[in-house]
Amino acid sequence: MKKIYILTLILISLNSYSQNCNIGNENATGSFTPGNFGANYLLGVKYTLSQLGTLNSINLIGNNTGEGVQMAVYDDNGGTPNNLIASSSQSTVGTGITTLPVTPVLLPPGDYWIMAVYESGGNSSNYNPSATGNVVYYSSLQYGSAIPTNASGFTSYNGQDFLYFLSIDCGNTLCQPNTGTDTRTECNSYTWIDGNNYTSSNNTATYNIAGAAANGCDSLVTLDLTIVNSATGTDTRTECNSYTWIDGNNYTSSNNSAIFNIVGGAANGCDSLVTLDLTIANSTSGTDVITACGSDGFEIPNNGIDDDYDGNIDEYLGYQWIDNNYYTASNNTATWIETNAAGCDSTVALDLTILPPFVTEEDVITACGSYTWIDGTTYTSSSYGLAYFSDVNGCDSVLGVLDLTINSVSDLTASTSGLVITSNNIDATYQWLDCDNSNAIIPGETGQSYTAITNGNYAVELTENGCADTTACVSITSVGVLENTFGDEFAVYPNPTNGNFSINLGDIYESLIVSITDISGKLIDSKTITQSQILNLNIKEPAGLYMVSVQAGDKKANIRLIKE
């Protein structure tokens, strides 16, 4: 294509033209001068539409050349013309505004390319050769040929602007809005498309939905709303012990605050909000404790009289309970269910003791230490004799003979010699116990004597004549004492030790020497102590075996001490 050349500088003053949302150049003010437009080229520049509008015509400001012209509009794709939006029929260039009508079309906001093709070359219109920010797109097109539907093959150059503009009505003027009614019934409240929340019926509200009709026009909707209300109610009930309500919860106590919403449960189709008013009444239970007299096998009446006056003693049937059953033996398993004052179950358990009316001829008993017989007397020695008791426990007289043998452990003393404790009872069996460990059994120690291996308190359980008893605890404090001339009261405790230990000399000594060595003979500590009977000492060295020596004049003791 040939570039446009400026032939003559002409200043033309045009009246400004403006209609609604027009875009492009509607007047020739500024740097526009006549130009030489080449024939058979479709070319133009881009303009921006800021709001929705309806395109009615494509226009140019002409110089009355009378030559043929046809114009077109393309949309934009990233700064280049894209698809054909509208094109005019062929016309001729007149003086001033030359209007080329098009079929009205709705244009959204955006960039649009206005282009024209001329039948012959010449100065059909003015242009601005110094519009350096503009890009011109063009394509070779024989005048009278069909306008291309797509501009993908167009060529560009920079720096020109033209007196082209689009006549655009602001908004959508292609059609009138459709109307309709949104009829609905809702529960309690409803938020409509206008964003308002309605809590009562309404048939006056309207809302315009832009471009929502099937033909692209607006849709004006009128609301016809009927508000119906949810139902409320109270479920009042009294139940025993627990109740599982419609909410699935199991209630074990009275409740008047639980609520449950039954979706669509009301007669009008709305929700039904139910409040629980529950009273929990409890079942009761008790025990009927009864003591009754039994039979010895003879026909002894339950009440001791001839009820039917037939001259015969009535047959013993047993104890008749509230369940109408007769019980001839003690029973603690029978139950009977009644209804309590609250209307719930009341369960009564029977605890029946049937007392025998007689004690059989001789009561032979062997007991340890003492025995309390049915006569209420506690016997501490063997006894044989007759006892007669009238109306015992309200039953028939009791006649009995007691043959009682009282056994015991004959000797509960023990003696000590050094570390050896010996039971003085030679007729018993023995089990030695650790008093310091809750009288725990010392495994394997079942002889008459026990030799202590650690300091502590020890006793022996004696079994004799079928009776068992335990001696008093005996204290052993001299374990680990290898040599002692201080006397029998000399004691070391505790041994083993955690480091702190004491020595009881049995008497106060004015001066004494204490030495401590380890197992290798290394001296650990040595000190002189005056006016003391009880020595409180400490070994700070690691756990192990240590030798402690104490000497006061001609008195001497050697101790083997274990530190744990």
pTM, full prediction: 0.35
Based on the domain organization, do 65 and 107 belong to the same domain? yes
Based on the domain organization, do 445 and 469 belong to the same domain? yes
Residue (of 68, 70, 72) closest to 105 by Cα position: 72
More confident position, 246 or 1: 246
Q: Other C-beta atoms within 10 Å of 462: how many?
A: 23
Domain finish residue from 313, 340, 355 = 355
Does 559 map to a domain? yes
Amino acid 492: pLDDT: 87
Based on the domain organization, do 238 and 224 belong to the same domain? no
User: DSSP letters along 24-42, please?
Assistant: E--S--SS-EE--BPTTEE
> Up-side HSE of residue 483: CA atoms within 13 Å toward CB?
10
236-262 pLDDT per residue, tens: 999 999 999 989 999 999 999 999 999
Amino acid 387: pLDDT: 58
Domain that holds residue 469: 414-476
Domain finish residue from 254, 281, 308 = 281
Amino acid 528: pLDDT: 93
Does 336 map to a domain? yes
Based on the domain organization, do 54 and 156 belong to the same domain? yes
Based on the domain organization, do 97 and 151 belong to the same domain? yes
Contact of 115 with 75, CB cutoff 8 Å: no
Does 245 map to a domain? yes
Residue (of 218, 320, 234, 331) closest to 277 by Cα position: 234
**Is residue 367 scored above 50 in pLDDT?**
yes
Helix (H) / strand (E) element for 462: namely strand 456-464
Amino acid 382: pLDDT: 81
Sequence-distant (≥ 6) Cβ neighbours of residue 51 within 8 angstroms: 21, 109, 170, 171
Lowest mean pLDDT among 208-217, 409-418, 539-548: 208-217
Contact of 162 with 45, CB cutoff 8 Å: yes
Based on the domain organization, do 151 and 36 belong to the same domain? yes
130-141 pLDDT per residue, tens: 888 899 999 999
**Is residue 5 scored above 60 in pLDDT?**
no
Based on the domain organization, do 60 and 138 belong to the same domain? yes
Based on the domain organization, do 273 and 241 belong to the same domain? yes
What is the domain count for the chain? 7
Residue 190: pLDDT band (50, 70, 90) is very high
Residue 508: pLDDT band (50, 70, 90) is very high
Contact of 458 with 414, CB cutoff 8 Å: no
Sequence-distant (≥ 6) Cβ neighbours of residue 435 within 8 angstroms: 456, 457, 458, 459, 473
Q: For the purposes of burial, counting CB atoms within 10 Å of the CB of 399, is it exposed (0-12), middle (13-18) or buried (19 or more)?
A: middle
**Is residue 466 scored above 70 in pLDDT?**
yes
| Number of DSSP helices (H) and strands (E) in the chain, helices first | 0, 46
Lowest mean pLDDT among 8-17, 26-35, 293-302, 310-319: 8-17
Based on the domain organization, do 383 and 295 belong to the same domain? no
Amino acid 433: pLDDT: 92
The stretch 158-173 carries a mean pLDDT of: 90
Does 546 map to a domain? yes
Q: Of 26-40, 186-200, 402-416, where does the model show the most confidence?
A: 186-200
Lowest mean pLDDT among 335-339, 387-391, 480-484: 387-391
Does 367 map to a domain? yes
**Can you tell me the distance from the alpha carbon of 37 to that of 117, in angstroms, rounded to the nearest whole number?**
9
Helix (H) / strand (E) element for 473: namely none
Does 59 map to a domain? yes
Over the chain, what is the mean pLDDT? 85
Lowest mean pLDDT among 95-109, 201-215, 312-326, 480-494: 312-326
Residue 483: pLDDT band (50, 70, 90) is confident
Does 6 map to a domain? no
Domain finish residue from 441, 458, 476 = 476
Based on the domain organization, do 329 and 390 belong to the same domain? no
Amino acid 36: pLDDT: 85
Based on the domain organization, do 288 and 265 belong to the same domain? no
Amino acid 132: pLDDT: 82
Does 152 map to a domain? yes
Residue (of 233, 223, 221, 181) closest to 200 by Cα position: 223
Based on the domain organization, do 85 and 152 belong to the same domain? yes
